[in-house]
Chains A and B, each alone.
Chain A
Amino acid sequence: MKKTLGAVAAAAAIAMSLTACGGGSPSTTSGEAKGDINYWLWDANQLPAYKQCAADFTKANPDIKVKITQRGWGDYWTTLTNGFVAGNAPDVFTNHLSKYPEYASKKQLLSLDEAVEKDGVKLDVYNEGLADLWVGQDGKRYGLPKDWDTVAMFYNKKLVKDAGYTEEQLTNLDWNPQDGGTYEKAIAHLTVDKNGKRGDEPGFDKNNVAVYGLGLENSGNGQGQTQWSFLTGTTGWTHTDKNPWGTKFNYDDPKFQETIKWWAGLAEKGYMPKLETTVGASVSDAFGAGKAAINTNGSWMIGQYTSYKGIETDIAPTPKGPDGKRASMFNGLADSIWAGTKNPAAAAKWVEYLASSDCQDVVASKAVVFPAIKSSSEKAAAAFKAKGIDVSAFTTHVKDGTTFLFPITENAAKVDGLMAPAMDAVLSGKKDASTLGEANEKVNSLFK
């Protein structure tokens, strides 16, 4: 929610602060570790867990007090940027892979290498690859892993049962970009029109659908994290020439365009809502209202999907693709230290604590996300199980090594700015998938 007034005030603040940060960067190892630390995060569901962590931390380090502020995702990044400029950004904050490259290159983040070395932080306790995501192009470490997420299918148990599908069938779907495989067959069969005809029956009215087989959130912009990346990932396609720090995107690849074409075709056939109908209520709320049988979404949404009254939700892994395997984007969050902190030593201590099993076990016990540390992840899975939720659909990707990393590049915001309208146009049927090649050229020219 951005308000005009906020934007104006922010613009004024930026306009009037004549100096950005300057001077040498402070060290995480010098000075005394004491004082107040401001910490920001965006997920309200995780706030209680981190409040607990902060209390435990202060108990162990009475000289350091941690003040936690939670802001919604929409406000989080603009407020943070304004804070960098105005000089009142938080000492430590939850960071995202699509944002940190820019902050690092603009010298807003403190390198953690010295602290990691001095305090002997073990980096092999985290799930594979998570720690490396946070090493910048300059070879310095800008964050310590806190949690990870993968993608799976949430489904409405009753609708699936009514359609005659078993849990086992849903767990073993396959997909290909030509005819969609058993994945499309299931989606078609789960779609029901106003007259009770299923999507694969003759006389199905695609313009009057009561329940869609597959829900639609949006076009997924340039990443498609929960929308299509679990499909493109099984075709051998990758977002960029290399990851991290790719400088060439592959949206002109036929493998990608084929997949998107097939996916957009679902809306055309009436198995998935049209893009124009998704502006408004969130995809999960439509699921909660019984308007869709399957939703593909990330593990951070488990709490949301299992909280709808009167809807029994279960989770199945994403389908196997042409390469015979499943695929899921693997995204990891981390905590970073702002370069302008007055308390680098205390901030480093807090980041290390957040990245330790002491704190991540607390997070695990609340069963909201999967912590980065392997042993804590397992504890989280157990905590979910205790709540009656089987999360193996998410963890199977990590177990089987079928994850691929979130694309980390520079210019991420600009890439999204170009890809969002291009993908919208294709998904809404206004343009052919081949036009994504033109968008790709524009995207790649950002890196020249």
Chain B
Amino acid sequence: MMTTLTNNPPTRSDPRRPARSGGLRRGAARLGDLRIALLFIVPALIGFIAFCLVPTIRGVYLSFTEYSVLGEPEWIGVKNYTAIFADELFWNAMAVTVQYVGINIGLQTLIALGLALLMHRVAKSTLIRGALLLPFLVANVIVALLWFWMLDYQLGIVNEVISWLGLPRIAFFGSEQWAIPTIAFVNVWRHMGYTALLIFAGLQAIPNHVYEVASLDGASPARTFWSITMPLLRPVLALVLVVTVIGSFQVFDTVAVTTGGGPVNASRVIQMYIYQKAFGESDFGYASALSVILFVILALVAFIQMKFLKGNESDLD
């Protein structure tokens, strides 16, 4: 589209050509683009329909049924939903998930912002910038297992160091107080470099002359940060937050390979609960209803964040 418009500017100034024909030709060109565009979109569209749209619709349908996988789904109306609202474990899972998201996103965003500023201002070497990204290159499950071993109560190296320092050992994954903060920490460690990279890209997009003007006016570094960097970074931050919050709500693998939801129910996040209901207890109808609720919550969260942080507008204009 862009190229057509620039190569074929409206030729209204040309007296030999009636304005209409230009419009027609543009219409035809647009249609031609549509075909090409469709061709490019089709592979993604097939994937979207097969792996997103159809399963979503079927998931919504299944949420109104009792379905044990082995057998036919049986329509039961909103029974699953009424049961969920009376289900203590569901509310517990929501509370645990929100706690996790709070710790995870709070810490991660702060650290990533700090790292991004360091990358922008201080650490210009590609090696150091690359090293920050290293944890993200390791698979989630591996990272989780690695920390699971290092933080083990009896044999883990971290607890060996703690006890060598004369402090009491900590059951990082085993105690109800520590389980969620520990899992959140593990994921912060893995994702901070990646998040920092996204913010770093946003920092680079801020034109230098704004900073020059600020320093000419004698603004302090703190003032520059709050009055220039943060406002101009807001669209990127909003996007980063939307993406990371949604990802954070869907935490699963770290929990699955470490605590499995325990101790008691202390780390039974919503995705874990869905998984256990569906694949552990073969209650796919109930699990689908839980998934639909999570879907609605995530859609709302994304909507509110975009609206509130005005993520689709830039202050640079």
Binding site for B on A (CB under 8 A): 1-4, 7, 10-12, 14-16, 20-21, 78, 81, 84-85, 102-103, 106-108, 207, 273-281, 285-286, 289, 291, 413-414, 417, 420-421, 424-425, 428, 430
7 pairs, A vs B, C-beta closer than 8 Å: A3-B253, A10-B279, A14-B284, A15-B62, A103-B70, A414-B281, A421-B265
Q: How far is the CB of B247 from chain A (nearest CB, A)?
A: 11
- Given A108-B70, A280-B149, A413-B282, 7 other A-B contacts at CB below 8 A? A12-B55, A20-B71, A81-B279, A81-B282, A274-B171, A277-B171, A417-B281
B207 at the interface (CB under 8 A from A): no
* In the complex with contacts A2-B256, A4-B253, A81-B69, A280-B152 CB distance below 8 A: yes
The distance from the CB of B295 to the nearest CB of chain A, in whole angstroms, is: 13
B59 proximity list for chain A (CB < 8 A): 15
- B279 contacts A78, C-beta separation under 8 Å: yes
Taking the nearest CB of chain A, how far is it from the CB of B205, in angstroms? 32
Interface of chain A, helix or strand or loop or mixed? helix
| Interchain CA distance A425-B92 in the complex, whole Å | 15
B155 touches A275 (CB 8 A): no
Select one of B62, B175, B279 contacting A7, CB under 8 A: B279
In the complex, whether B153 has a CB less than 8 A from a CB of chain A is yes
Residue in B71, B175, B280 whose beta carbon sits within 8 Å of that of A417 in the complex: B280
B264 and A280 within 8 A (CB): no
> Cβ of A276 and Cβ of B264 under 8 Å apart?
no
Report B40-58 CB contacts with A as 1/0, cut-off 8 Å.
0000000000110011001
Question: What residues of chain A lie closer than 8 Å to B148, measured between beta carbons?
Answer: 280
B residues near A (Cβ < 8 Å) are 50-51, 54-55, 58-59, 62, 68-72, 140-141, 148-149, 151-156, 168-169, 171, 173-176, 250, 252-253, 256-259, 262-265, 275-276, 278-284
Distance (whole angstroms) from the CB of B140 to the closest CB of chain A: 8
> CB-CB < 8 A to A289: which residues of B?
154-155
| CA A275 to CA B176, docked complex, whole Å | 11
Distance in angstroms from A176 CB to nearest chain B CB is 29
Interface centre among A3, A4, A107, A424 (most CB of B within 10 A): A4
Q: Is B69 touching A277 in the complex (CB atoms < 8 A)? A: no
| B68 and A280 within 8 A (CB) | no
- Chain B contacts for A424, CB-based, 8 A: 262-264
* Nearest CB of chain B from residue A271's CB, rounded to whole Å: 15
B55 and A279 within 8 A (CB): no
CB-CB < 8 A to A21: which residues of B? 70
Q: Could you tell me if B155 and A285 are in contact, using CB atoms closer than 8 angstroms?
A: yes
* Contact between chains at A276 and B174 (CB < 8 Å): yes
Contact, CB under 8 Å: B155 / A281? yes
Q: Measured between alpha carbons, how far is A20 from B282 in the docked complex, in Å?
A: 14
**Which residues on A sit within 8 Å (CB–CB) of B51?**
12
Query: Assuming the A-B contacts A102-B282, A428-B264, are A4 and B252 also in contact, with contact meaning beta carbons closer than 8 angstroms in the complex?
Result: yes
Chain B nearest CB from A227 CB (Å) reads 15
Contact B174 A275 (CB under 8 A): yes
Q: Which residues of A contact B151 (CB under 8 A)?
A: 280
Which residues from chain B contact A12 at a C-beta distance below 8 Å? 50-51, 55
B54–A16 touching, CB < 8 Å: yes
Q: How far is the CA of A291 from the CA of B173 in the complex (A)?
A: 19
Q: Nearest chain B CB to A214's CB is how many angstroms away?
A: 14
- A15 and chain B: residue at smallest CB distance: B55
Q: Are B280 and A279 in contact (CB under 8 A)?
A: no
Q: Quick one: which of B54, B149, B153, B262 contacts A420, CB cutoff 8 A?
A: B262
Do A273 and B69 have beta carbons less than 8 Å apart? no
Contact B275 A277 (CB under 8 A): no
Kindly identify which residue among A20, A286, A291, A428 contacts B69, using a CB–CB cutoff of 8 Å: A20
- State whether B153 touches A16 (Cβ < 8 A): no
* Inter-subunit contact A277/B174 (CB<8 Å): yes
Do the beta carbons of A85 and B70 come within 8 Å of each other?
yes
A106 to B173, CA, bound (A): 37
Contacts of A3 in B (CB 8 A): 140-141, 253, 256
* Most chain A C-beta atoms within 10 Å of own C-beta, residue among B58, B153, B275, B276: B153
The interface residues of chain B lying within 8 Å CB-to-CB of A102 are 70, 282
A2 to chain B, nearest CB (A): 5
Q: For A7, list chain B residues within 8 Å (CB).
A: 252, 275, 279
Whether the Cβ atoms of A1 and B282 lie closer than 8 Å is no
A-B pairs with lowest CB-CB distance, top 4: A276-B174, A280-B152, A106-B70, A279-B174
Min C-beta distance of A268 to chain B, whole Å: 16
User: Assuming the A-B contacts A276-B175, A279-B171, are A421 and B264 also in contact, with contact meaning beta carbons closer than 8 angstroms in the complex?
Assistant: yes
Known: A10-B279, A16-B54, A424-B262. A1 touches B257 (CB 8 A): yes
A281: contacting residue among B154, B169, B258, B262, CB under 8 A: B154
B278–A11 touching, CB < 8 Å: yes
Q: Which of B51, B169, B281 has the most CB of A within 10 A?
A: B281
Establish whether residues B55 and A16, one from each chain, have CB atoms under 8 Å apart when the complex forms.
yes
Nearest Cβ on chain A to B92's Cβ, whole angstroms = 10
How distant is the Cα of A21 from the Cα of B265 in the complex, in angstroms? 36
